[in-house]
Amino acid sequence: MKKYNFYPLLFLLLILCSCSNDDDTEIFDLPADERMNTLLLEYRNTLAASQDGWKTTFYPDTTYTGGWSFVMKFDEHYGVEMIGDVVKNPEVEEGTYALLGSQGPVLSFKSYLPITELSNPSASHPQARYGSNEFVIVEERDNGDLVMKSKRNDSRFVLKKAGEEDWKNIGLHSETENNFIGSPLNSVYRFFTIGNQTDSIVYEMVYDEYFRQMTLTNADDAVVQSKDKGVAFTKDSVYVEPPIMYDGVAIAALFYDKDQSLFIGRNGDVTAKLYYSPVPYNLGNDIADINLTKNMFSYRDDTLEDTPYTSPGFVHLYDEVNDLMLGGRILWRIEVHFMTETEGRVRYRYSSGDTNYSAYHYFRYQAEDNRMVLTETGDGWSTTNQGVINALSNLDDIFFSSKGFYIKKLSERYTYTNVVYTFTSAEDPSVRFPTYSALTTF
Produce one character per residue of 256-290: b if its CB has 16 or more CB atoms within 10 Å, e if not. beeeeeebbbebeebbbbbbbeeebeeeeebbeeb
For residue 28, the model assigns a pLDDT of 54
pLDDT classification of 290: cutoffs 50, 70, 90 = confident
For residue 218, the model assigns a pLDDT of 87
Helices (H) and strands (E) in the chain, counts: 7, 24
Contact 376, 386 (CB under 8 A): no
Distances in Å between the alpha carbon of 338 and those of 332, 335, 439? 20, 10, 10
Contact 287, 373 (CB under 8 A): no
Task: Give the 3-state secondary structure of residue 149.
Answer: strand
Distances in Å between the alpha carbon of 432 and those of 29, 314, 395, 399, 405? 68, 6, 12, 11, 9
For residue 128, the model assigns a pLDDT of 93
137-145 long-range contacts, CB within 8 A, separation 24+: 137/43, 137/104, 137/105, 137/106, 137/107, 140/43, 140/46
Higher pLDDT, 185 or 22: 185
Q: What is the pLDDT of residues 29-62, one digit of tens each?
A: 677 788 899 999 999 999 999 999 999 999 999 8
Dmax over Cα atoms in the chain, in whole Å? 121
- Looking at the predicted structure, is the pLDDT value of residue 20 above 60? no
Contact 202, 220 (CB under 8 A): yes
Q: Mean pLDDT of all residues in the chain?
A: 90
Cβ neighbours for 187, distance < 8 A, ≥ 6 positions apart? 276, 277, 278, 429, 430
Q: What is the pLDDT of residues 87-100, one digit of tens each?
A: 988 999 999 999 99
Q: What is the pLDDT of residues 95-144, one digit of tens each?
A: 999 999 988 899 999 999 999 999 999 877 888 999 999 999 999 999 99
For residue 8, the model assigns a pLDDT of 46
For residue 55, the model assigns a pLDDT of 98
Q: What is the DSSP string of 51-111?
A: TT-EEEEE-S-TTT---EEEEEEE-TTSEEEEEETTSSS---EEEEEEEE-TTSSEEEE-S
Tell me which DSSP letter residue 278 carries.
Answer: S
* Type of residue found at 124: S
Cis peptide before 105 (omega within 30 of 0): yes
Higher pLDDT, 365 or 28: 365
- Looking at the predicted structure, is the pLDDT value of residue 233 above 80? yes
Contact 58, 108 (CB under 8 A): no
Question: Lowest-confidence range among 213-227, 336-350, 389-403?
Answer: 213-227
Q: How far apart are CA 96 and CA 41, in angstroms?
A: 16
**Which domains, and CATH codes, for the chain?**
32-174 (2.40.128.370), 184-277 (no CATH), 286-439 (no CATH)
Q: How many CA atoms lie less than 13 Å away from 76 in the CB half-sphere? A: 6
- Looking at the predicted structure, is the pLDDT value of residue 9 above 50? no
- Nearest C-alpha neighbor of 110 from the set 92, 101, 98: 98
Q: What is the pLDDT of residues 297-348, one digit of tens each?
A: 999 999 999 999 999 999 999 999 999 999 899 999 999 999 998 999 999 9
| Strand 200-208 relative to strand 68-74, pairing | unpaired
Q: What is the DSSP string of 161-184?
A: E--HHHHHHGGGHHHHHHHHH--T
Specify the pTM.
Answer: 0.79
- Nearest C-alpha neighbor of 370 from the set 280, 435, 251: 280
